[in-house]
Amino acid sequence: MSLPVATIEKLAFGGNGVCRIDGKVCFVPYSCPDDMVSLRLTTEKKSYCIASISEVINHSPFRTAPECALFGACGGCSWQHISYPVQLQQKRAIFVETLWKGARISADVIGDIIAAPLQYGYRGRIQFKVSVHQGKLDIGFFRQGSHRVVDVSEGCPVASPVINQVLNGCRGVLRSYPEVEAISQISIDAGDNGVIVILHHTGPVSSRNRKYLVGRANEFGPCTGLFIKAGNQADNEMLWGSSDISYFMDSSDPDKEPLELTYPPGGFAQVNQRQNRTLLSVIRSLGRLSSGDHLLDLYCGNGNFSLPLAAEAASVTGIEGNAGSIQAAEQNRILNKVANARFFCDDVSSGVQRLIEQGQQFSTVLLDPPRAGAGDAVPGIVRLNPDTIIYVSCDPSTLARDCGLLVDCGYHVITSVPVDMFPQTYHIESVTLLGK
């Protein structure tokens, strides 16, 4: 039986190539636009199918050699085989299509995607899975479609060089760790100041094992602090070093020093700090805050955007549901001597409701929600009646849904700018400006 042959038309959110087999949409992992491929169907549904590549008959001119020898086995990256300009073009096309389908937002208001300065070596935060199989220690990522760990013995190409250095040190230490089977994951955060490692331990850590890890401190490479997260305990336990990890965000005044922002080990921070600063630049450009503006920052985290923007506004209020992040935001406020900012730990929806009940008014609302979006908070945002809404999103689908809700309530999308935070993957970050 001959296999179906098709030409890949485009890429889809999720990373797969798209073609048609007998008029039905077919998703093809690890394909590239303009590939001509013979396919083997793996899944068939009523409205679509999924197929693997049996043979690439004609290679697309947009194909390139992956930098990682594990590409295709490791479940981390999905687009290393596609040239970077085409990755950018496809991301913008996906973004445009998603916003049109989800909220009828015209392509005319969507800007060019902002490329990442680094296509590899950009990640400053990574979680590595750990397993021991037949006596062999594997540290890396889950194999595509499974929970078997692919060992990244040569390091991860999208990780910053210092993370790979520290990972190599961790590997050497853990080879002789008495309870290595109890380590399920290693989290490594590399800021502009400090590199923190958290070893995720499935159960209690004995005093002998603590002593072992402390005694090998100088073998972890350029690591400044080691923590253990044991079992279901809420807090990380410091074994040695410092908990300080920080990065810098540009001040609105080029003559002033950047702000130094910290976050706790295990806390949230953007994985690509260069593009994090790009997001801030886009927010500044679109928001155009003035000395009379009162800014509300929802899902504010550690003050990542609130504090750098505070000098441009009359006041800044931040709301975040994570207590550790709010504690970091308050510490960052004090560290950077920001007097006109305040932070509250609360569920965003209930926090907004409280502000409404207090009669608080804000000219601008900035929100940077998790992947699930801000659907529950949208009614409250509308009741606050800000002139401007700036929506930072990491998921085009939930952005489209929430923009649709806001449009139904009288707002309109002025412009939206996609930002490539995650080269070699299908993920898309963006900043969207809405007004009345």
Copy the structure tokens of residue 123. 């990640």
Copy the structure tokens of residue 57. 């008959």
Q: Is 394 a catalytic residue?
A: yes
Polymer length of the chain? 436
Distance, CA of 422 to CA of 428 (rounded, Å)? 7
Query: Which one is catalytic: 26, 394, 403, 409?
Result: 394
Distance, CA of 364 to CA of 366 (rounded, Å)? 7
3-class SS string, the chain: CCCCEEECCEECCCCCEEEEECCEEEEECCCCCCCEEEEEEEEECCCEEEEEEEEEEECCCCECCCCCCCECCECCCCCCCECHHHHHHHHHHHHHHHHHHHHCCCHHHECCCECCCCCCCCECEEEEEEEEECCEEEEEEEECCCCCEEECCCCCCCECHHHHHHHHHHHHHHCCCCCHHHEEEEEEEECCECEEEEEEECCCCCHHHHHHHHHCHHHCCCCCEEEEEECCCCCCEEEEECCCCEEEECCCCCCCCCEEEECCCCCCCCCCHHHHHHHHHHHHHHHCCCCCCEEEEECCCCCCCHHHHHHHCCEEEEEECCHHHHHHHHHHHHHCCCCCEEEEECCHHHHHHHHHHCCCCCCEEEECCCCCCCHHHHHHHHHHCCCEEEEEECCHHHHHHHHHHHHHCCCEEEEEEEECCCCCCCCCEEEEEEEC
Number of other residues whose CB lies within 10 A of the CB of residue 169: 18
Residue type, 186: I
Residue 263 · residue 328 · CB < 8 Å: yes
Give me the half-sphere count of Cα atoms (radius 13 Å) on the Cβ side of residue 436.
11
Copy the structure tokens of residue 43. 């899944």
Catalytic positions, written as ranges:
394
